[in-house]
Each structure stands twice: as C-alpha cells, then as structure tokens.
Structure 1
Amino acid sequence: MARRGEGSAGWLFTLPVIVILGLFLFVPVLMALWVSFSDWTGRGSPFSAGTGFVGFDNYAEITSGGGLPERNFGIALRNNAWYAVLVIPLQTALSLFLALLVNRAALRGRTFFRISFYFPSVTSSVAITVLWLFLFSSTGVVNQVLSWVGMNGPNWFNDPRGIVHVALSAVGVEAGPAVLTDADILGVSWWDWLSGPSIAMAALILMAVFTTSGTFMLLFLAALQSLSPDVDEAGRVDGASTWQRFWRITLPQLRPALFTVLTLGLIGCWQVFDQIYTGTQGGPGKTTLTPAYLSYESAFTDQRWGQGAAISFILFLIIVAFTVVQRWALRERGVAKRRMRQYRMTARENGGAS
C-alpha cells in the first residue's frame, strides 16, 4: 500500500521527462498532423491565417489521385514492402543463429566473436553506405570478382528491373500476362509489384542485414542466458533431439525476445531513410525510393509539406497495423503453455529426485 505523498513524489520526479516529451515529441507530432490536413507552404507558422484547412485532400492525392504523387507513393510502398519482406526474416534468422553460436560454452574466443559480430552495428550508417556503394560500383570489388566468371557489366547496378523480372528475362519472358499488367494498385501494376527488388535495392538489403544482425544478436543472447537449463535438460531426459529441444523448448521461451526483434526490425525497415539519402536518392528509376525518403522529398524539395506529412502518418499507420498483426501471430497459445508447463514440472521432478 502506497504511503501518503508517494504518488505526488512520483509525479514530481517524472514531471521533467513528461515536459520534455511534451515539448519535443507530442507537440511536434500534433503540429505535423495539422500540417497533413492543411496547405501549408513551409513559410511562416503553420497556424497562421494564410494556411488553410484542406481536409483529406493530401491523403487522397497520394492514395487515389491518379497522378504522379499516387504512382510515386505506390512505387515507394512496393520497394519498401520487398525490403521489409526480405530484411526482417534474414536478419532475425541470422541474429538468432549468431546468438546460439556465441552462447555455446565450448566455443573458444566467444568475446572476440561477439565484438566482431556486433561491430557493424555501431559503425556509422553513412560510412557503411558509402563503402557499400563503392564495393558495388562498376569498378568495385564485387564487379571484379564477378568478372572472373564472366558476370560483370558496367551498368548492372543501374538496372531498374526487379530481380524477378531479370530472372524471367533470362529465360525469354519479357512481359507479364494481361491479368497482371492491366490491374494496378496505387498506380503500379501487379506485374511491377511482383517484380522483386532491383539489384540496387538488393544490395541495400544485404547491407541492412549485415549492419543490424549484431544488435539483435545481443537481444537474443541476453534472452538465451536468462533461460533455465533445467527445462532443456527435461527435454533431453524425454529423448528429444537437438532440433526438437530448440524448436519445442528454447524457441517458445524466446517469444518475448523474438517479438522485440521483429518489432524493431519492422520499424527500422519501414523507416529506412539515411541509406537512401546518402546512397541512391531513390535511383535507379525510383527502384530504391522509400516512403520515408518520399516524405522528405515531397516536403523539403517540392515544398509540399502537407503531402509529406500525410505520407508520414500513413507510414505510421502501416507500422502500427503490422505490429498489431505481429503481436497477434506471436501470442502464446494454450498448447504451447501446457507443453512448457509440463517440461517445467518434469524439470522440478528431476531436480527433486537428484
């Protein structure tokens, strides 16, 4: 039971943080929300008399306007969707594998490997992007290696086609069926939605996996080290194989860490900006254009601040929606609860018998 005055003391200690968050986070967010419903030109205050309320016009222009803003937004969503679909599973699987690897007691030099795997995560993303583009340039190391097997080309990195279309063109398929080319969503045909990431975006995907796996490895490693070995030992006594113990015992206990990693990966993928701004700036042919960069370009370059803010809030809703679905998919079901409870009871019985 709280003593008299403890509640007031708690609010007093948290008041500075509340004020700081209010001034530098919540107030700007509310201002940006107003801008997304206005025709603000970026000059003066967004609350001045010259700024008019336009309702959902900015949102309608990029989602159903039928012009270039809608097509650009559709292309950006297509690019970012492929980026997220490939980056999130790859970085999650790789980080979990690295965590299991460096968590083994039999591994010598574990500290060295942990530092080595984590090092790319603390390196400047701008520096890594510049280095990555240099490696994939026409005179870079990647092209030099590919030249040994006759696969290099001076403009392969600038090919605006998706890797699925590139693979299909290699077997003579240059155009899709009418059912895919005639129908479109957000101004982009289904044939283009299914084209896959471009070679330039694929290089950025590899870079994202390389730079983020170390951070998520630490999260999985902390979760692994907090697990009780008794439950795994109970599975071993029951005759479960190494894979069965990992899939049935270890992985279910990593569910909170897995949700954290997937959520952070989802947010990071849909907010990718600095790599695009520093590296490709949307090229080649807008195949690396992302909603975050499109929002910046609409506001700061085209001076269409309402449209840029609208893109940001649509992106926010996308992230929230995917997070809710992800939380629902990773919820702990009754069967898993009963199985884990059974293993814990077996572990306690084994401990009592010993």
Structure 2
Amino acid sequence: MPNMTSMTSTQAPATATMADKRREETIAGYLFMSPMMVIFLIFLFIPIAFALFVSFTNWNGITPLGQTQSQTTGVVLFTNLTTDPVTIPAGTIVTTEGGSPIRYRLTADVTLEAGTEATAEGSIVALDEFAGSGGNTRRDSITAIEGDLAEAVSVTNPSALASGQDNAYQFVGLANYQDLLFKQGIRQRDFFLSLKNTVYFVLGVVPAQTVLALVLAVIVNQKWLKGKGIFRTAFYFPSITSSVVISIIFLWLFARGGVVNVLISALFPNYDPVTWLNDPNGVIHNILGLVGITRDTVGDWASSRIVGLTLWDWISGPSVTLFTIMILNTWTTIGTLMIIYLAALQGIPSQVYEAASIDGATTWQTFRRITVPLLAPTTFFVVTLGLIGTFQVFDQIAVMTSGGPAKTTLTIAYIVYSNGFNNSEMGLAAATALILFAIIFAFTLIQRRITRESLDAY
C-alpha cells in the first residue's frame, strides 16, 4: 500500500507552485491594466465626481475654488468740526451715501486734536452682512458717521476701498436640478425646449445614418463593384474632415441665395427660396399646414402647457433649420459607420451565403434572414454610437446657429456650454450635463433591450 504521508509531501509543492503561478498571472494582468485604469480614473471617474460635486453648488466657474470670504477694508479720514479734541471709539459705524447705505466698523480708536481743521485716519472693515464684493462696496463714497458724533465729526474715504471677496461657492443642494426639472421659469423652459429639439434630432439622425451606412456598406462590399477603394474613400472622406469647415460650407450651400436654392429654382421655376438656416417653423407644423391644420384650428387643447411648453410646441417636429443640421450630421457620420458595417460584413463566413444560395434563397431573403441577424451586435454598437453622438451634438449648432432662430436649434449640450461659459453658472451646467448623462444611459439600455428582443425574434 502506498505511503500516504510521502504522497502528500510530494504533492504539496505542486499545489503551492500552481497558487504562485495564478498569483503571478493576476499581478501581471493588473499591471497590464493599470495604465488604462489610471487613464480612466483621471479622465473619467474624477471628472464625473467633480461634476457631481459642482452640480450641488452655485459656483460660477471663474472664481478659484479655494477662495474664502473676506470683508471689504479701507481707510477713512475724519475731520474735527469742533474746537475741542474728539475721540472716536472703535466700533463706531460709518456709512456710504445713497438710499441703501453700506455700513462699516472702525477697527481702533481715533483721536482728533482740538481745532476745526484737525484730521486723522482710521481703519474700517465692512460689517458681516456686507462682506464680500456682492454690494460693489469699493465704488461707494463714505460720507456719514452714526451716533452722537455725527455733528462733531465729518468722514470721507480719500482712496478706494480694498474690495472684499465672497466664498467661491455655496452648497445649494438640489436647487439646480429643481430649476431645470420642476421650477417654472426660463431655465425649465429652455431645458425642456432643448430636450425636445435634441430628441427630434436623435429620432431623425440615428435611424437615417444607421440605414444609410448599412446600405452603403453592402454596396461597396459587392464583388462585382469596380473601384471599391474610390467609393469607400469618397463615402468616408466627410467623416475625417473638420466639422467646423463642413458647417461653414453648409452655411454657404443653404443660404437663401446658395447653391441648394439655385438648383431647386432651376428645377421648379415657381419655387420660393427657403431660408434654410433661419426658419424656426417646425417641419411637422409645415406638413400639417398643407392640409389646413394650424394652431388656430386645432382647438384649445394645443394651449395646454407641459413643463413650460404647449402641446402644440411639443408636436412641432424639428425646425427647418434643425432639419438642415440633421442632414449635415447624417452626411458626416455615415462614412465612419459604413466602415464599421463593412468590417462586420467581411467577417461573415462565405459558406453561410453559399448554403442559402443552394437552398434557393433570394437576395432579399438572404439579406433579411442572414445578413441583418448576423449584424445585430454591430447594429447595437452603431446605434449606441449614434445615440451618444446625437445627444451630445454641439459643434454644428455652435458654428451655424448658436441655438437660434428662436431657440429652435437649442440642444442640451449647447445649454451646458451656454450656462457654464456664457452665463457663468457652472453649477447649473454641471447639473444639466449629469441629466444628459442619465438620459443617454437610459436610452442606451432601452436600445439594448430592443436589439436583444429583435435578435431573439429571428
């Protein structure tokens, strides 16, 4: 019978060796991952945490975050109006002129010698309720002294006061979120107006760019097509061209006297040129108007308001100007998505198509029953990229319209920029950005659920 003790003693080193090997592999794996983890930490997680922190404050984005509150200080000149010596005790209050005087406190005793021309200087500091620069204190002249000494002493400030400073920020809790989502006012209206515009932009661009990219990929993947490289380059070229440059070109093409209107006028002599980039009318409103349905004919229900917008505003569709930008965005993105689809198409085994051909499948049946289901993971990826990109549309809006006309091209991303850098409301901008993040995340989950159900249906 084998000696169990000896077997155990010989197997123990092997077990220890395997554990050490697994440990080494784990350490090596984390070492390989560590550069990317550091990048994610610095450029993703820390900025998200900072944005979350800022969203609970009223920080203006300009004041250094480490700045703390300090009071306005300065020097005043007292003049004796009597023939007797006068002592002005510390704590005496001097004030500025005007209907809303700002009050300052004398920090130390000041003694005036006898004589009507006797003068002396004293240091002052703003009272707590006027600390900081909110009252624009340094521009006011100090002319009055409170108390029994008002008739005996006059006061002036010979030089400007040293302006105090406010705290860099104050915690406001959920106030920024309430202003955007629940509190009636211009902030709520602009946010939901931008949300409406952005959703119409997404619903128009994402399906269009996905379908066109797939169709182009299928075409340039055909064996019979000559000059594939030329077509692939031509379709992909807009994606690598500067978005600003393309936006400026579209401004020229779609101007009232631009190439687009000239070509349409050549085809239709009675055509009235459209101001493509300065037309706030909604596309759906225009279509309804062709059949006689207008705001005046639909009834009172259209005047009902939901989060600052009337129902008639909600069903306007994208404005003509936003629709033009949607065309631009679709044209500039289908090239990249086409390359993604093309790579996926070339990864489908040819034996699958050969089997379908032997079974007598038509071209349409092959595409619908084989190509589309096998491309489902790629479609999910393409649609996800499209959702993220369109919800974050900014550059074309900033270059072409700046949110106009009549805020019909205002998007959530542009609201973030406008609040943060134009209005110096970085806390509000951070709250808007986080709401946008939540919207994109929710739409991505919904899209993933739909894609999975579609895949299961095949």
**TM above 0.5:** yes
Indicate the larger mover: 326-335 or 51-60: 326-335
Instruction: Choose between structure 1 and 2 for higher RCO, CA contacts under 8 A separated by at least 6 residues.
Output: 1
Structure 1 runs not aligned, ≥5 long: 340-354
Rounded to whole Å, the distance in 1 between the matches of 2:373 and 2:66 is 51
One-letter amino acid of the counterpart of residue 120, structure 1: P
Moved over 6 A (4+): none
Shift of 1:179: 5.8
Q: Match for residue 347 of structure 1?
A: none
Higher helix content, 1 or 2: 1
Residues 223-262 of structure 1: pairs in structure 2 closer than 5 A: 223-262=344-383
Work out whether residues 70 and 187 of structure 1, in 8 Å CA contact, stay in contact via their aligned partners in 2. yes
Q: Which residue of 2 aligns with 1:23?
A: 42
Q: Which has the larger radius of gyration?
A: 2
| Cα distance change of structure 1 residues 332 and 167 upon mapping to structure 2, 3 Å threshold | closer
* Partner residue, 2:86: none
Q: Offset at 1:278?
A: 1.1
Match of 1:172 among 273, 279, 292: 292
- Classify 1:106/1:155 alpha carbon distance in 2 versus 1 (closer, same or farther; 3 Å): closer
Using the TM superposition, name which of 179-188 and 67-76 deviates more: 179-188
1:202-241 matches, cutoff 5 A: 202-241=323-362
Q: What amino acid is the match of 1:40?
A: W
Partners of 2:207 and 2:343 lie apart in 1 by 20
Partner of 1:112 in structure 2?
230
**Cα shift readout 1:255-277 (whole Å, capped 9, x = no counterpart):** 11000000000000000001111
**Percent of pairs with identical residues:** 45
Match of 1:162 among 268, 282, 293: 282
What's the CA shift for 1:212? 0.5
After superposition, what is the alpha-carbon deviation per residue over 1:95-154, rounded to whole angstroms, capped at 9, x for unaligned? Answer: 000000000001111111111111110000000001011111112111212323232336
Matched, 1:152 2:295: no
Paired with 1:119 and 1:63, the residues of 2 have a C-alpha distance of: 41
Deviation at 1:18, TM superposition (A): 2.3
Partner of 2:203: 85
Q: How far, CA to CA, are the matches of 1:101 and 1:92 in structure 2? A: 14
Shift of 1:332: 5.8
Residues 33 and 334 of structure 1: CA distance in aligned 2, closer, same or farther (over 3 Å):
closer
Give the equivalent residue in structure 1 for 2:9: none
2:170 matches 1:52: yes
**C-alpha separation in 2, matches of 1:252 and 1:47:** 56
In structure 1, distance between residues paired with 2:182 and 2:395? 28
The answer to whether the 8 A contact 1:73-1:186 is kept is: no
Amino acid in the other structure paired with 1:153: P
Aligned: 1:300 with 2:418 = no
Deviates more, 1:144-153 or 1:255-264: 144-153
Structure 1 residues 47 and 30: alpha-carbon distance in aligned structure 2, compared to 1, 3 A threshold: farther
SS of 1:5's equivalent in the other structure is helix
- 8 Å contact from structure 1 (residues 298, 308) kept in 2: yes
Which residue identity lines up with residue 310 of structure 2 in the other structure? Answer: S
1:6-46 deviation line (CA, Å, top 9, x unaligned): 22223223323322332233212211111111111223344
Change in 2 beyond 3 A, CA 1:161/1:329: same
- For the residues of structure 1 that align with 2:442 and 2:27, how far apart are their CA atoms? 36
Alignment map for 1:191-202 (pairs within 5 Å) = 191-202=312-323
CA contact (8 A) 1:35 1:46 kept: no
**Counterpart residue number, 1:343:** none
Verify the 8 A CA contact 2:256 2:275 in the aligned structure 1. Answer: yes
Q: How many residue pairs align between the two structures? A: 337
**Which shows bigger deviation, 323-332 or 13-22?**
13-22
Instruction: Say whether the 8 Å CA contact 1:146–1:152 is kept in structure 2.
Output: no
2:89 aligns to what?
none
Deviates more, 1:90-99 or 1:46-55: 46-55
Asked if 1:274 is matched to 2:395, the reply is yes
1:174/1:332 CA distance change after superposition, 3 Å = closer
Match of 1:97 in 2: 215
Aligned counterpart, 2:179: 61
- Corresponding residue number in structure 1 for 2:28: 9
1:87–1:269 contact (8 Å) kept in structure 2: yes
- For 1:265, give the aligned amino acid: G
- Counterpart secondary structure, 1:245: helix
Partner of 1:126: 244
The 8 Å contact of residues 96 and 217 in structure 1, kept in 2 or not, is answered as yes
How far 1:320 sits from its partner (Å)? 0.4
Q: What SS is found at the alignment partner of 1:132?
A: helix
Deviation at 1:202, TM superposition (A): 0.9
In structure 2, relative to structure 1, the CA distance for the partners of 1:334 and 1:272 (3 Å cut) is: closer
Q: Distance in 1 between matches of 2:441 and 2:278?
A: 34
Name the CA distance, whole Å, in 2 between partners of 1:245 and 1:271.
Answer: 36
Residue 323 (str. 1) matches residue 447 (str. 2)? no
Query: In 2, Cα distance between the equivalents of 1:180 and 1:200?
Result: 27
Runs (5+) with no aligned partner, structure 2: 1-17, 69-166
